[in-house]
Structure 1
Amino acid sequence: MVERMGLRERKKRDTSLRIRRIAIELFVERGFDEVAVAEIADAADVSKMTVFNYFGSKEDLVFKPMEEHTGDLARAVRERQPGESAVAAVHRQFLEQLAARDASIGMSPDPLNVRVHELILATPALLTRTYAWSARGTQLLAHELIAEADGERSSPDEAVARCAAMQIAAARTSLHDEIHKRRIKGEGVDEIYPTMVTLAQKVFGLVENGLGEYAVRR
Protein backbone atom coordinates (compact mmCIF):
# COMPACT_ATOMS: atom_id res chain seq x y z
CA MET A 1 0.00 0.00 0.00
CA VAL A 2 2.85 2.37 0.86
CA GLU A 3 4.41 1.75 -2.57
CA ARG A 4 1.16 2.82 -4.26
CA MET A 5 0.98 6.06 -2.31
CA GLY A 6 2.03 9.22 -4.09
CA LEU A 7 4.49 11.70 -2.65
CA ARG A 8 1.71 13.96 -1.35
CA GLU A 9 -0.02 11.08 0.44
CA ARG A 10 3.24 9.86 1.97
CA LYS A 11 4.03 13.34 3.27
CA LYS A 12 0.57 13.65 4.80
CA ARG A 13 0.88 10.22 6.41
CA ASP A 14 4.33 11.00 7.78
CA THR A 15 3.18 14.35 9.16
CA SER A 16 0.19 12.73 10.84
CA LEU A 17 2.35 10.01 12.40
CA ARG A 18 4.91 12.55 13.61
CA ILE A 19 2.30 14.80 15.20
CA ARG A 20 0.65 11.88 16.95
CA ARG A 21 3.91 10.41 18.22
CA ILE A 22 4.99 13.76 19.65
CA ALA A 23 1.57 14.24 21.24
CA ILE A 24 1.65 10.82 22.88
CA GLU A 25 5.14 11.42 24.26
CA LEU A 26 3.98 14.72 25.77
CA PHE A 27 0.83 13.15 27.18
CA VAL A 28 2.80 10.32 28.78
CA GLU A 29 5.40 12.68 30.21
CA ARG A 30 3.03 15.29 31.65
CA GLY A 31 -0.47 13.87 31.59
CA PHE A 32 -3.16 14.19 28.95
CA ASP A 33 -5.00 17.03 30.66
CA GLU A 34 -1.82 19.07 31.17
CA VAL A 35 -0.83 19.34 27.51
CA ALA A 36 -2.38 21.94 25.21
CA VAL A 37 -2.79 21.43 21.47
CA ALA A 38 -0.72 24.56 20.91
CA GLU A 39 2.21 22.91 22.73
CA ILE A 40 1.91 19.85 20.53
CA ALA A 41 1.94 22.04 17.43
CA ASP A 42 5.06 23.86 18.63
CA ALA A 43 6.86 20.61 19.41
CA ALA A 44 5.93 19.20 15.99
CA ASP A 45 6.89 22.46 14.25
CA VAL A 46 3.46 22.86 12.68
CA SER A 47 0.59 25.27 13.23
CA LYS A 48 -2.25 24.55 15.64
CA MET A 49 -4.58 24.55 12.62
CA THR A 50 -2.46 21.83 11.00
CA VAL A 51 -2.93 19.64 14.07
CA PHE A 52 -6.70 20.06 13.83
CA ASN A 53 -6.61 19.42 10.09
CA TYR A 54 -5.25 15.94 10.84
CA PHE A 55 -7.01 15.34 14.15
CA GLY A 56 -10.44 16.78 14.86
CA SER A 57 -9.89 17.00 18.60
CA LYS A 58 -7.23 16.50 21.24
CA GLU A 59 -8.67 13.07 22.07
CA ASP A 60 -8.43 12.10 18.40
CA LEU A 61 -4.64 12.27 18.74
CA VAL A 62 -4.99 9.16 20.89
CA PHE A 63 -7.98 7.44 19.34
CA LYS A 64 -8.01 8.13 15.60
CA PRO A 65 -5.97 5.01 14.58
CA MET A 66 -7.99 2.83 16.97
CA GLU A 67 -11.37 4.08 15.84
CA GLU A 68 -10.57 3.20 12.25
CA HIS A 69 -11.13 -0.39 13.45
CA THR A 70 -14.50 0.20 15.12
CA GLY A 71 -16.26 -1.91 12.50
CA ASP A 72 -13.83 -4.85 12.50
CA LEU A 73 -16.21 -7.24 14.26
CA ALA A 74 -19.12 -6.39 12.00
CA ARG A 75 -16.90 -6.68 8.93
CA ALA A 76 -15.68 -10.15 9.95
CA VAL A 77 -19.25 -11.36 10.26
CA ARG A 78 -20.47 -9.62 7.12
CA GLU A 79 -17.68 -11.14 5.00
CA ARG A 80 -17.72 -14.65 6.50
CA GLN A 81 -17.94 -17.70 4.28
CA PRO A 82 -20.96 -20.00 3.83
CA GLY A 83 -21.06 -22.46 6.71
CA GLU A 84 -18.94 -20.22 8.94
CA SER A 85 -20.47 -19.05 12.21
CA ALA A 86 -20.20 -15.50 13.51
CA VAL A 87 -17.93 -16.69 16.33
CA ALA A 88 -15.63 -18.56 13.95
CA ALA A 89 -15.38 -15.52 11.67
CA VAL A 90 -14.29 -13.20 14.48
CA HIS A 91 -11.89 -15.87 15.78
CA ARG A 92 -10.35 -16.17 12.32
CA GLN A 93 -10.03 -12.40 12.00
CA PHE A 94 -8.30 -12.21 15.38
CA LEU A 95 -5.79 -14.90 14.38
CA GLU A 96 -5.06 -13.00 11.17
CA GLN A 97 -4.47 -9.81 13.16
CA LEU A 98 -2.19 -11.70 15.54
CA ALA A 99 -0.13 -13.07 12.67
CA ALA A 100 0.08 -9.63 11.07
CA ARG A 101 1.28 -8.08 14.36
CA ASP A 102 -1.62 -5.66 14.02
CA ALA A 103 -1.39 -2.54 16.18
CA SER A 104 -5.18 -2.42 16.51
CA ILE A 105 -5.07 -5.36 18.92
CA GLY A 106 -1.86 -4.28 20.66
CA MET A 107 0.51 -6.51 18.69
CA SER A 108 2.70 -3.78 17.22
CA PRO A 109 6.35 -4.01 18.33
CA ASP A 110 6.42 -0.19 18.44
CA PRO A 111 6.73 0.92 22.10
CA LEU A 112 4.31 3.74 21.29
CA ASN A 113 1.52 1.16 21.24
CA VAL A 114 2.22 0.29 24.89
CA ARG A 115 2.47 3.94 25.89
CA VAL A 116 -0.93 4.67 24.39
CA HIS A 117 -2.54 1.89 26.39
CA GLU A 118 -0.89 3.02 29.62
CA LEU A 119 -1.99 6.58 28.92
CA ILE A 120 -5.60 5.50 28.43
CA LEU A 121 -5.61 3.52 31.68
CA ALA A 122 -4.27 6.55 33.56
CA THR A 123 -6.73 9.09 32.08
CA PRO A 124 -10.43 8.84 33.06
CA ALA A 125 -11.65 10.84 30.05
CA LEU A 126 -9.78 8.58 27.64
CA LEU A 127 -10.96 5.46 29.44
CA THR A 128 -14.55 6.65 29.10
CA ARG A 129 -14.10 7.13 25.37
CA THR A 130 -12.57 3.65 25.13
CA TYR A 131 -15.71 2.17 26.63
CA ALA A 132 -17.85 4.15 24.19
CA TRP A 133 -15.71 3.00 21.27
CA SER A 134 -15.98 -0.63 22.38
CA ALA A 135 -19.74 -0.30 22.81
CA ARG A 136 -20.04 1.16 19.32
CA GLY A 137 -18.17 -1.81 17.84
CA THR A 138 -20.50 -4.20 19.66
CA GLN A 139 -23.51 -2.23 18.43
CA LEU A 140 -22.33 -2.44 14.82
CA LEU A 141 -21.89 -6.20 15.20
CA ALA A 142 -25.38 -6.54 16.66
CA HIS A 143 -26.83 -4.53 13.77
CA GLU A 144 -25.07 -6.83 11.32
CA LEU A 145 -26.58 -9.88 13.00
CA ILE A 146 -30.01 -8.27 13.26
CA ALA A 147 -29.92 -7.40 9.56
CA GLU A 148 -29.57 -11.11 8.80
CA ALA A 149 -32.58 -12.00 10.93
CA ASP A 150 -35.96 -11.88 9.27
CA GLY A 151 -37.90 -10.75 12.34
CA GLU A 152 -39.06 -7.28 13.27
CA ARG A 153 -36.89 -5.07 15.48
CA SER A 154 -39.10 -5.85 18.46
CA SER A 155 -38.91 -9.60 17.92
CA PRO A 156 -36.96 -11.96 20.22
CA ASP A 157 -34.39 -12.36 17.42
CA GLU A 158 -33.07 -8.87 18.14
CA ALA A 159 -32.46 -9.71 21.80
CA VAL A 160 -30.66 -12.90 20.79
CA ALA A 161 -28.51 -11.01 18.29
CA ARG A 162 -27.53 -8.41 20.87
CA CYS A 163 -26.68 -11.12 23.37
CA ALA A 164 -24.51 -12.88 20.78
CA ALA A 165 -22.77 -9.63 19.83
CA MET A 166 -21.95 -8.82 23.44
CA GLN A 167 -20.51 -12.28 24.07
CA ILE A 168 -18.39 -12.24 20.92
CA ALA A 169 -17.12 -8.73 21.63
CA ALA A 170 -16.34 -9.60 25.23
CA ALA A 171 -14.30 -12.59 24.11
CA ARG A 172 -12.17 -10.44 21.85
CA THR A 173 -11.83 -7.70 24.46
CA SER A 174 -10.53 -10.20 26.99
CA LEU A 175 -7.84 -11.22 24.51
CA HIS A 176 -6.92 -7.60 23.79
CA ASP A 177 -6.57 -6.98 27.52
CA GLU A 178 -4.28 -9.98 27.87
CA ILE A 179 -2.05 -8.74 25.06
CA HIS A 180 -1.78 -5.29 26.61
CA LYS A 181 -1.07 -6.74 30.05
CA ARG A 182 1.77 -8.85 28.69
CA ARG A 183 3.18 -5.98 26.61
CA ILE A 184 3.19 -3.69 29.65
CA LYS A 185 5.13 -6.37 31.51
CA GLY A 186 7.76 -6.16 28.78
CA GLU A 187 6.97 -9.26 26.72
CA GLY A 188 7.64 -8.92 23.00
CA VAL A 189 5.01 -9.56 20.35
CA ASP A 190 6.85 -12.61 18.98
CA GLU A 191 6.99 -14.03 22.49
CA ILE A 192 3.30 -13.39 23.02
CA TYR A 193 2.12 -14.77 19.69
CA PRO A 194 1.98 -18.56 20.34
CA THR A 195 0.45 -18.05 23.77
CA MET A 196 -2.27 -15.83 22.34
CA VAL A 197 -3.08 -18.31 19.55
CA THR A 198 -3.70 -20.97 22.19
CA LEU A 199 -5.62 -18.62 24.44
CA ALA A 200 -7.81 -17.44 21.56
CA GLN A 201 -8.79 -21.05 20.90
CA LYS A 202 -9.89 -21.40 24.52
CA VAL A 203 -11.69 -18.07 24.77
CA PHE A 204 -13.59 -18.29 21.49
CA GLY A 205 -14.20 -21.95 22.24
CA LEU A 206 -16.18 -20.94 25.31
CA VAL A 207 -18.40 -18.75 23.18
CA GLU A 208 -18.59 -21.29 20.36
CA ASN A 209 -19.91 -23.96 22.72
CA GLY A 210 -22.85 -21.73 23.54
CA LEU A 211 -23.28 -20.03 20.16
CA GLY A 212 -21.93 -22.64 17.78
CA GLU A 213 -25.26 -23.15 16.02
CA TYR A 214 -26.13 -19.46 15.97
CA ALA A 215 -25.81 -17.36 12.81
CA VAL A 216 -24.35 -20.12 10.65
CA ARG A 217 -24.57 -18.85 7.08
CA ARG A 218 -26.64 -21.15 4.86
Structure 2
Amino acid sequence: MTGLRERKKRQAHEAISAAAITLFLERGFDEVSVAEVAASAGVSKPTLFKYFPTKEDLVLHRVSDHQGEAARVVRGRGTGETPLAALHRHFLDGLARRDPVTGLNDHPEVLGYHRMVFGTPSLAARVLHHMALDEEALAAALAEGTDELTALLVAGQVLVTQRVLARRNWLILVGGATAEETYPSAVAAADHAFALLPGLP
Protein backbone atom coordinates (compact mmCIF):
# COMPACT_ATOMS: atom_id res chain seq x y z
CA MET A 1 0.00 0.00 0.00
CA THR A 2 2.83 2.38 0.85
CA GLY A 3 4.39 1.71 -2.54
CA LEU A 4 1.13 2.50 -4.35
CA ARG A 5 0.69 5.71 -2.36
CA GLU A 6 4.23 6.83 -3.15
CA ARG A 7 3.76 5.98 -6.81
CA LYS A 8 0.58 8.05 -6.97
CA LYS A 9 2.32 10.97 -5.27
CA ARG A 10 5.16 10.74 -7.76
CA GLN A 11 2.73 10.62 -10.69
CA ALA A 12 0.89 13.69 -9.38
CA HIS A 13 4.21 15.47 -8.85
CA GLU A 14 5.28 14.75 -12.43
CA ALA A 15 1.88 15.67 -13.91
CA ILE A 16 1.80 19.05 -12.17
CA SER A 17 5.36 19.88 -13.19
CA ALA A 18 4.76 18.77 -16.80
CA ALA A 19 1.66 20.99 -17.02
CA ALA A 20 3.62 23.91 -15.57
CA ILE A 21 6.60 23.55 -17.88
CA THR A 22 4.33 23.26 -20.94
CA LEU A 23 2.63 26.55 -20.02
CA PHE A 24 5.92 28.27 -19.15
CA LEU A 25 7.53 27.25 -22.44
CA GLU A 26 4.49 28.44 -24.40
CA ARG A 27 4.07 31.82 -22.71
CA GLY A 28 7.07 32.51 -20.49
CA PHE A 29 7.68 31.80 -16.81
CA ASP A 30 6.67 35.26 -15.60
CA GLU A 31 3.51 35.35 -17.73
CA VAL A 32 1.86 32.28 -16.17
CA SER A 33 0.29 32.34 -12.71
CA VAL A 34 0.35 29.49 -10.23
CA ALA A 35 -3.46 29.46 -10.38
CA GLU A 36 -3.27 28.79 -14.14
CA VAL A 37 -0.84 25.95 -13.56
CA ALA A 38 -3.11 24.41 -10.94
CA ALA A 39 -6.12 24.66 -13.26
CA SER A 40 -4.18 23.09 -16.13
CA ALA A 41 -3.03 20.23 -13.91
CA GLY A 42 -6.52 19.72 -12.49
CA VAL A 43 -5.56 20.38 -8.87
CA SER A 44 -6.21 23.12 -6.34
CA LYS A 45 -3.60 25.74 -5.45
CA PRO A 46 -3.17 24.31 -1.93
CA THR A 47 -2.55 20.86 -3.44
CA LEU A 48 -0.02 22.32 -5.88
CA PHE A 49 1.87 24.05 -3.06
CA LYS A 50 1.92 20.77 -1.14
CA TYR A 51 4.09 19.34 -3.91
CA PHE A 52 5.94 22.51 -4.93
CA PRO A 53 6.51 25.15 -2.21
CA THR A 54 7.41 27.88 -4.75
CA LYS A 55 6.67 28.64 -8.39
CA GLU A 56 10.36 28.13 -9.21
CA ASP A 57 10.21 24.60 -7.80
CA LEU A 58 7.74 23.69 -10.55
CA VAL A 59 10.62 24.08 -13.01
CA LEU A 60 13.73 23.31 -11.01
CA HIS A 61 12.81 19.93 -9.59
CA ARG A 62 14.48 18.60 -12.76
CA VAL A 63 17.68 20.24 -11.53
CA SER A 64 17.21 19.17 -7.91
CA ASP A 65 16.82 15.55 -9.07
CA HIS A 66 20.60 15.72 -9.74
CA GLN A 67 21.35 17.24 -6.31
CA GLY A 68 24.46 15.68 -4.79
CA GLU A 69 25.16 13.60 -7.91
CA ALA A 70 28.86 14.50 -8.12
CA ALA A 71 29.38 13.56 -4.48
CA ARG A 72 27.63 10.21 -5.06
CA VAL A 73 29.86 9.53 -8.06
CA VAL A 74 33.00 10.16 -5.98
CA ARG A 75 31.83 7.98 -3.10
CA GLY A 76 30.66 5.21 -5.40
CA ARG A 77 33.76 5.05 -7.62
CA GLY A 78 35.56 1.78 -8.25
CA THR A 79 38.63 0.62 -6.42
CA GLY A 80 41.71 2.38 -7.76
CA GLU A 81 39.70 5.03 -9.63
CA THR A 82 40.54 8.61 -8.67
CA PRO A 83 37.74 11.08 -7.88
CA LEU A 84 38.49 13.14 -11.01
CA ALA A 85 38.58 10.05 -13.21
CA ALA A 86 35.19 9.00 -11.84
CA LEU A 87 33.69 12.45 -12.45
CA HIS A 88 35.18 12.57 -15.95
CA ARG A 89 33.77 9.12 -16.76
CA HIS A 90 30.36 10.10 -15.39
CA PHE A 91 30.25 13.24 -17.56
CA LEU A 92 31.22 11.24 -20.65
CA ASP A 93 28.49 8.70 -19.84
CA GLY A 94 26.02 11.60 -19.64
CA LEU A 95 27.11 12.85 -23.06
CA ALA A 96 26.69 9.37 -24.54
CA ARG A 97 23.11 9.07 -23.32
CA ARG A 98 22.35 12.72 -24.19
CA ASP A 99 21.56 13.61 -20.57
CA PRO A 100 20.08 17.15 -20.61
CA VAL A 101 22.32 18.12 -17.69
CA THR A 102 25.34 17.90 -20.06
CA GLY A 103 23.70 20.35 -22.49
CA LEU A 104 23.95 17.76 -25.28
CA ASN A 105 20.26 17.12 -25.93
CA ASP A 106 18.60 18.70 -28.94
CA HIS A 107 14.98 17.89 -28.12
CA PRO A 108 13.06 21.17 -28.63
CA GLU A 109 11.59 21.06 -25.12
CA VAL A 110 15.02 20.57 -23.57
CA LEU A 111 16.49 23.46 -25.56
CA GLY A 112 13.54 25.63 -24.57
CA TYR A 113 13.84 24.56 -20.94
CA HIS A 114 17.48 25.67 -20.78
CA ARG A 115 16.64 28.95 -22.49
CA MET A 116 13.86 29.60 -19.96
CA VAL A 117 15.95 28.72 -16.91
CA PHE A 118 18.96 30.83 -17.83
CA GLY A 119 16.85 33.65 -19.23
CA THR A 120 14.67 34.06 -16.12
CA PRO A 121 16.52 35.80 -13.25
CA SER A 122 14.63 34.07 -10.43
CA LEU A 123 15.27 30.64 -11.95
CA ALA A 124 18.93 31.36 -12.73
CA ALA A 125 19.44 32.49 -9.13
CA ARG A 126 17.96 29.27 -7.82
CA VAL A 127 20.24 27.24 -10.10
CA LEU A 128 23.22 28.99 -8.52
CA HIS A 129 21.85 28.03 -5.11
CA HIS A 130 21.62 24.38 -6.20
CA MET A 131 25.20 24.60 -7.48
CA ALA A 132 26.40 25.92 -4.13
CA LEU A 133 24.79 22.96 -2.34
CA ASP A 134 26.35 20.57 -4.87
CA GLU A 135 29.73 22.17 -4.29
CA GLU A 136 29.46 21.65 -0.53
CA ALA A 137 28.43 18.01 -0.98
CA LEU A 138 31.24 17.30 -3.45
CA ALA A 139 33.80 19.01 -1.23
CA ALA A 140 32.69 16.87 1.70
CA ALA A 141 33.14 13.72 -0.40
CA LEU A 142 36.57 14.83 -1.63
CA ALA A 143 37.66 15.83 1.89
CA GLU A 144 37.51 12.17 2.89
CA GLY A 145 40.79 11.78 0.98
CA THR A 146 42.48 15.16 1.34
CA ASP A 147 42.43 18.39 3.35
CA GLU A 148 39.35 20.61 3.51
CA LEU A 149 40.74 23.60 1.57
CA THR A 150 41.98 21.47 -1.33
CA ALA A 151 38.62 19.67 -1.44
CA LEU A 152 36.73 22.97 -1.58
CA LEU A 153 38.94 24.35 -4.35
CA VAL A 154 38.75 21.21 -6.48
CA ALA A 155 34.98 20.87 -5.99
CA GLY A 156 34.44 24.43 -7.18
CA GLN A 157 36.63 23.93 -10.23
CA VAL A 158 34.95 20.63 -11.17
CA LEU A 159 31.43 22.02 -11.02
CA VAL A 160 32.33 25.20 -12.90
CA THR A 161 33.98 23.04 -15.56
CA GLN A 162 30.86 20.92 -15.94
CA ARG A 163 28.68 24.03 -16.13
CA VAL A 164 30.89 25.62 -18.80
CA LEU A 165 30.88 22.42 -20.86
CA ALA A 166 27.10 22.08 -20.63
CA ARG A 167 26.54 25.72 -21.54
CA ARG A 168 28.91 25.39 -24.51
CA ASN A 169 27.08 22.30 -25.77
CA TRP A 170 23.72 24.03 -25.44
CA LEU A 171 24.91 27.09 -27.35
CA ILE A 172 26.22 24.91 -30.18
CA LEU A 173 22.85 23.15 -30.43
CA VAL A 174 20.93 26.42 -30.30
CA GLY A 175 23.12 27.54 -33.18
CA GLY A 176 21.62 24.79 -35.32
CA ALA A 177 23.89 21.78 -34.86
CA THR A 178 22.46 18.39 -33.87
CA ALA A 179 23.45 16.47 -30.77
CA GLU A 180 24.65 13.61 -32.95
CA GLU A 181 27.09 15.71 -34.98
CA THR A 182 28.22 17.66 -31.89
CA TYR A 183 28.92 14.55 -29.80
CA PRO A 184 32.55 13.96 -30.92
CA SER A 185 33.59 17.57 -30.25
CA ALA A 186 31.71 17.54 -26.92
CA VAL A 187 33.69 14.48 -25.84
CA ALA A 188 36.95 16.10 -26.95
CA ALA A 189 36.06 19.28 -25.04
CA ALA A 190 35.26 17.27 -21.90
CA ASP A 191 38.56 15.35 -22.18
CA HIS A 192 40.46 18.63 -22.58
CA ALA A 193 38.62 20.31 -19.69
CA PHE A 194 39.11 17.47 -17.21
CA ALA A 195 42.80 17.21 -18.17
CA LEU A 196 43.20 20.82 -17.03
CA LEU A 197 41.75 20.14 -13.59
CA PRO A 198 44.20 19.71 -10.71
CA GLY A 199 44.69 16.26 -9.26
CA LEU A 200 44.28 15.56 -5.58
CA PRO A 201 47.43 14.94 -3.54
TM-score category, normalised to shorter length: 0.7 to 0.9
Unaligned runs of 5+ in 1: 150-156
Take 1:8 and 1:172, find their aligned partners in 2: how far apart are those partners?
33
Q: Within 2, Cα distance between the matches of 1:171 and 1:106? A: 13
Contact preservation (8 Å) 1:19, 1:41: yes
Indicate which of 154, 167, 178 corresponds to 1:188: 178
Deviation at 1:79, TM superposition (A): 1.2
TM-score by length of 2: 0.86
Task: Give the TM-score taking structure 1 as reference length.
Answer: 0.80
Aligned pairs, number: 199
Q: Which of 35, 38, 53 does residue 38 from structure 1 map onto?
A: 35
Residue by residue over 1:28-80, the C-alpha shift from the partner in whole angstroms, topping out at 9 and shown as x without a partner, is: 34332332111111123332234234323211111102111121111111112
Q: Percent identity?
A: 38
* Distance in 2, Cα, partners of 1:60 & 1:87: 31
- Tell me the distance in 1 between the aligned counterparts of 2:104 and 2:9: 24
Which of residues 109, 125, 128 is equivalent to 2:125? Answer: 128
Q: Which residue is 1:58 aligned to?
A: 55
Distance 1:15 1:103, change over 3 A: farther
Please give the alpha-carbon distance, in whole angstroms, between the structure 1 residues aligned to 2:16 and 2:175: 27
Equivalent position amino acid for 1:144 in 2: A
Note if 1:167 corresponds to 2:157.
yes
- TM-fit CA distance, 1:109: 4.5
Aligned positions of 1:59-208 closer than 5 A: 59-149=56-146, 157-207=147-197
CA RMSD of aligned residues (A): 2.3
Displacement of 1:15 in angstroms is 4.3
| Separation in 2, partners of 1:19, 1:179 | 29
Q: CA deviation at 1:8?
A: 7.9
In structure 2, the gaps of 5 or more residues are none
